[in-house]
Every structure is written in structure tokens, then in C-alpha cells.
Amino acid sequence: MSAADAPGPVLAPPPAGERSAGAPLLEVDGLRVTLVARGRQVHAVDGLSYRVAAGQTVAIIGESGSGKTVSSRAVMGLLPPSARVEGHVRFAGVDLVGLPERELRRRRAVDLAIVLQDPARSLDPTMRIGPQITEAIRAHLPLSRRAARERAIELLGRVRIPEPRRRYDDYPHQLSGGMRQRVVIAAALSCNPKLLIADEATTALDVTTQAQIMHLLVELQAELGMALVLISHDLGLAATYTDEVVVMYAGRTMEHAPTRELFHNVRSPYTKALLGAIPRLDRPPHDRLPVVQGRPPDLTRRMQGCPFHLRCPSAAERCAAERPPEVVDPPGHRFACFFPHGEGNLP
């Protein structure tokens, strides 16, 4: 590990599930997103609902293609014009769905920000990193060119870029992957947003750098009082850093609970399958890695029943024909399944 990537002192995250939610800052209610791909409609998100309070961290977990990223882009208003968005996305009581683009653009900097998976795609390779940050600052804050430059240098230091004044004039290719992601985080925080969405923000990084970036996000969250939505397929990340977990599959919510409750009392067969597919150090050498058998459903077709029924070991005929209603048991723990785990219905 290079000195440039070495972590400084960090704040340890509070135990998952122990930060209580106050008044919601972000409210996503019945979100549905339909995309058009090759002339066919794709039902990418189908009825997603969750809340995030100031200072709280909520993870949205699922396989690739489950609708996680589409839902985050719907919250940010970053979907293509051909996308149809239904439901409500309220930020501080204001519904963002249907807002004019000019108003959305202002809110994307001042209220909400997003950090994407690949920092190389988020940064212009022909432009020095400092001006890329000052450009966003000057677009939304009444600062002079000199003041914006100082603000950018301050932000680079805040995200632990060494020698930030000198690095201000570096190009992205002169930085490591971890440092590029820090620059993207600095740009996202340039206007002190109240909510940050981290969309697979550590997936392209090695394990050590992943931990550094997550610790950095936790520290900045505590410092700024931000809400954080963590989009990931990594259940370990969710267990360590979040207060609540939303498990998505084929655009739907399969399970939603406080983190500690979810991992100690799994109810959805899909969540159980995801946990069972995590590689374990105590497994015998050369043992086959467990997998979730089968393939995800075709999202160009409207599903009448449970989307997981073709891969579920406990599925019955009604699972294919009827959409399971949402059940709350115990209080605060929501799942949609006719034969939930924990009731003697699953092996």
C-alpha cells in the first residue's frame, strides 16, 4: 500500500442498526421505473419504498440487475427522458418526481449528491482534478475563482489527498484508483449535500482501499451530519456500516429491516440464499462455492407472482400466480413471502 493511500485516523462506525431514525429526510414511496431497451419496456423498479433520516445509513442490496442503480438514478433525476417514473421521491417534503430539470440540477448539488462505481468515468481525463471540483462549486455557490480554488483544496485535504495544494493540478491518470475515488467524493461534497448516495462506490477497488473509502465516508457522514444511501451487492458492507437494509430482487423489495434484526432473523428465502452464497473461510479447500441456482426473471414481462419463485426451494403454485403481500413481523421487519424463513417452511 502506498503512502498516498494510507488511511489516517478514522471514526469507528456505530454498531449497525443502533442509530435511530428521526424525521425522514428522504421518502421513497411506491417507486416504479419503466425503461425502454431495444423497443421493449423493462420494468426495472416495481414499488420500492424506504425512508432515510438525517445521519442515518440505509443499504439497498441485491444482485446485478435487481434495480438498485436504476432506483438511485431515479432519486437523483438522472434517468433518460424515455424512462417513466411513477410514485413519489420526497426530499425534505418536496416531491422530486416531475420537477423541472433546472430545479433538479440545483438540488443535485445543494441537497443530494451521488458517488458512482467507476471514478475513471466520473472524471474528465483531459482536465486537472482541481478545476473539475471548482467548476461544480462555482456553478452553485457564490464564490470567486480564488475562493472556489481554496475550497477545492480544502476538500481534497478533507478526503485525505496528501499535499492537496500540489495535487490540485494533477490529472486523473496521475492518481491511484483509491485517490481518484476520493476526488469524486470531494466533488460530491463540494456544496455540503444533506444526502449522499454511494452507488457501488467501492466495487472497483481492492479490499484494503474499499475499507479506507468506507471509513472515510463514515467519518465525513459524522462530521457533516449527512444521510447516506449505500447501493451495493456486498452484504458484509451492509452488516458493518448501515442502520437499515433493503433487499431488492427483480425490481421489488423482498425484505426490509434494521440491519441487526435482518441478519439475526432472516425471513425472505432470497435473503437467505444471498447469505448462503457468501464464501466462508471455514469451508473445506477446493469445495464448490455455493450459488443461487437459476436465472433472474425477464423484466420485460409483468410478473403476476413472486419474482423469485423459479429459484426458490420452497415455492408453491400460488407463488407463481399471486403477488405475496407485504408482511410486518416483528414490528419494523417487512418482507413479501407466502412461506417465510423462520416458520418451519424452509429447510
Domains of the chain: 23-111+225-347 (3.40.50.300)
Of 317, 337, 162, the C-alpha closest to 247 is 337
Q: For every residue of 8-68, which 3-state class applies, written as one string?
A: CCCCCCCCCCCCCCCCEEEEEEEEEEEEEECCEEEEEEEEEEEEEECCCEEEEECCCCCCH
Residues in CB range of 66: below 8 A, 6 or more apart: 248, 249, 250, 251, 296
For the four alpha carbons of 328, 331, 200 and 226, in that order, the dihedral sign comes to positive
DSSP 90-138: EETTEE-TT--HHHHHHHHHHTEEEE-S-HHHHS-TTS-HHHHHHHHHH
Rounded to 5°, the CA angle 96-60-205 comes to 110
CB atoms within 10 A of CB 240: 16
Does this model's pTM top 0.85? yes
Residue-by-residue pLDDT tens, the chain, 347 positions: 444 444 433 334 444 445 555 689 999 999 999 999 888 999 999 999 999 999 999 999 999 889 999 999 999 999 999 999 999 999 999 999 989 988 898 888 789 999 988 887 889 999 999 999 999 899 888 999 999 999 999 999 999 999 999 999 999 999 998 999 999 999 999 988 999 999 998 887 888 888 889 999 999 999 999 999 999 988 888 999 999 999 999 999 999 999 999 999 999 999 999 988 877 777 788 778 777 888 889 899 888 899 999 999 889 999 999 999 999 999 999 999 999 987 543 33
Rounded to 5°, the CA angle 51-52-54 comes to 150
Q: Reduce the DSSP state of residue 181 to 3 states and report it.
A: helix
Cell numbers linked to 155 = 476538500
